[in-house]
Amino acid sequence: MQFKCVNCGGNVIYDPASGHMVCASCNAQDSEEIVNQEDCYACPSCGGKLTVDEFTSATRCEYCGAYTIIDEKISYPYGPDLILPFRFTKEQATELLRKSFKDKLFCPNNFLSQRTLEKMEGAYVPFWMYSYDTHAVWSGIGTKVRVWRSGDTEYTETSKFQVHREMDIVYKRIPVDASIKMPDNIMDAMEPYVYKDLEEFQPKYMSGYNGETYNQNPNELEERARKKADNDTEAWIQSTITGYDSTSATKREYINKPEGREFALMPVWKYVYRYQKKDYEYYINGQTGKVYGTLPKSISKIIFTGGTMFAGLMLLGKVLQYVVEVF
C-alpha cells in the first residue's frame, strides 16, 4: 500500500507539524489516494525490490525514496488495534538532539552536523498493551524511632505497629514493547507516552516512516506486564503509608486479573552515529520528545583539552615563579 498524490503522483506522507497528509513533491494537503501493491515486496512507484524482513510493516524504497506499507503486515493476525501518531517532525527531533548534547565538551566534531543527522529515521515500534483489575493486600510492620536527651544521657525509644492495606486498582493499557530489535531497557526509558492520545489504527499515519509488526506474542511478554503492575501497586500502597521511619512487609498479595490486551504502535526517532568502528544509538520519543543515548567521547579532543590545560598550568607556574623572583 502506498499513498500517492492525485495532483502530481508524488508520495504523500503524514506530517506531524500540521496533522495532515502532505505530498512530498508538491506539498498539497490531503490529496492522497491509495495504491495497492500487486507484489507486496515491490515498490508501487518504481517497481524496485523493497528491503524487508519477516517483521517489516512499513519501509522506504532505497531506489526512489517512496514509503510503502506492507499490506499483509497490517492485516489479521498482525493488524494493530491502536496507533500513537508522531507529534515531532524530523527537524524538531534533530533540534532536540542538538539541545541535549551541544554543550558536551568531548563530543566528536561531526556528531551533530546536518549531514550526519540526516540519517535519523522515524519508526513505529510494536507494543502490547495489557489491562488488569488488581486486588492488592499488603501487611507489615511500621517502625517509629524517638530519640531524646536528658542531661548527658541519650535515650532511644523504638515503637512497632501493625500496618495493613487492601485496595482494588484498575490498570488500563500497561505498555510492553514487542520488538526484538529494540532493547527493552531503552524502550522502558522512552516511557511514558501520553496514552490517552492513542487512536484507532489508520494506515495513513505510517506513511513516511518505518514500521514493524510484533516479534513476540502477548503470552511471552505477560510476565513483564505483571511485574510493571506489581511495581506500580507497591508504589501506590507505599504512598498511603506515612508517619513511620521505616516499614517492612510480612505479606504481599497482588492478584492481577486480565481484562484484555491490545496491539499498538508507538513513535520513535532513531539516530545511529558510527564512531571509531562502534555504533552509538540515540532514541527520541516521537510524541513527548524525551531523548535517550550515550555520548561518544573524542579522544583527540580529550588529549587536546588536557594538553591545553597542562600548558596553561605550566605557563601560570612560570608567571608565579617570575613574580616570586622579582619580589
Close Cβ partners of 232 (under 8 Å, ≥ 6 residues apart): 169, 171
In percent, how much of the chain has pLDDT > 70? 88
Q: Please give the distance of CA 33 from its chain centroid, rounded to a whole number.
A: 32
pLDDT higher than 60, residue 3 = yes
- Residue among 290, 271, 87 nearest 191 (CA): 290
Asked if 48 and 64 touch (Cβ cutoff 8 Å), the reply is yes
Of the listed ranges 14-18, 29-33, 94-98, the least confidently predicted one is 94-98
Of the listed ranges 82-96, 250-264, 283-297, the least confidently predicted one is 283-297
| 68 phi, psi to nearest 5 deg | -125, 140
Cα torsion 116, 117, 118, 119: sign: positive
Q: Domain coordinates of the chain in residue numbers?
A: 125-296, 301-327
Q: How far apart are the C-alpha atoms of 25 and 246, rounded to whole Å?
A: 64
Q: Looking at residue 205, what DSSP letter applies?
A: G
Residues 257-278 have pLDDT tens digits of 999 999 999 999 999 888 878 8
How large is the average pLDDT for residues 274-293?
Answer: 90
Q: How far apart are the C-alpha atoms of 280 and 293, rounded to whole Å?
A: 8
For residue 170, count other CB atoms closer than 10 A to its CB: 9
Q: Give the DSSP H/E element, type plus range, for residue 90.
A: helix 90-101
Rounded to a whole number, what is the largest CA-CA distance in the chain? 93
pLDDT higher than 50, residue 307 = no
Mean pLDDT of the chain: 88
Higher pLDDT among residues 319 and 210, named by residue:
210
- What pLDDT is recorded for position 118? 87
For residue 210, count other CB atoms closer than 10 A to its CB: 18
**Cell 492495606 belongs to residue:** 165
Q: How far apart are the C-alpha atoms of 80 and 266, rounded to whole Å?
A: 11
pLDDT higher than 50, residue 46 = yes
pLDDT higher than 50, residue 300 = no
**Cell 497490517 belongs to residue:** 74
pLDDT higher than 70, residue 318 = no
